Amino acid sequence: MEEKTKKTYCHVGHSVPGLFKGTRYNVGVGKLIESTELIQHKGILYITNQRIIFQAKEQGIEPSTQLGVWFDTHYPDAEMKRIYPKAK
C-alpha cells in the first residue's frame, strides 16, 4: 500500500454573462484542496520456502524493509525470469 496526495482546484466566486454573445465574466479565486488517498497495488503474492515474490502489472514500489532490500539484492529480475519463465 502507498499513500498518495491528490491536489484539485475548486473555483470559489461568481460568474455572470458577459456583454457579448458566448462570453462570461468571472470573479473569484481557485482554492487548492489536498486529499490523501491510500493506493493498493493489485497483484499475486507467491510465498515459497526460499523466497517471497509479489508480481504486479503496475509499476513497482521501492522496498521499505531490510527483507525487501535483501531479496532485491540476491534475486534480481533476470534471475527471477530464469527461475519462473512463465511468470508475466
pLDDT at 63 over 70: no
Q: What is the pLDDT of residue 81?
A: 74
Band the pLDDT of 64: cuts 50, 70, 90. low
pLDDT at 61: 56
Confidence tier at 50 by pLDDT (50, 70, 90) = confident
In this structure, the dihedral spanned by the alpha carbons of residues 78, 83, 85 and 86, taken in order and rounded to 10 degrees, is: -130
pTM attached to this predicted model: 0.32
C-alpha closest to that of 79 among 42, 48, 45, 51: 51
Q: What is the mean pLDDT of residues 28-49?
A: 83
Task: Count CA within 13 A, CB hemisphere, residue 54.
Answer: 14
CB 31 within 8 A of CB 9: yes
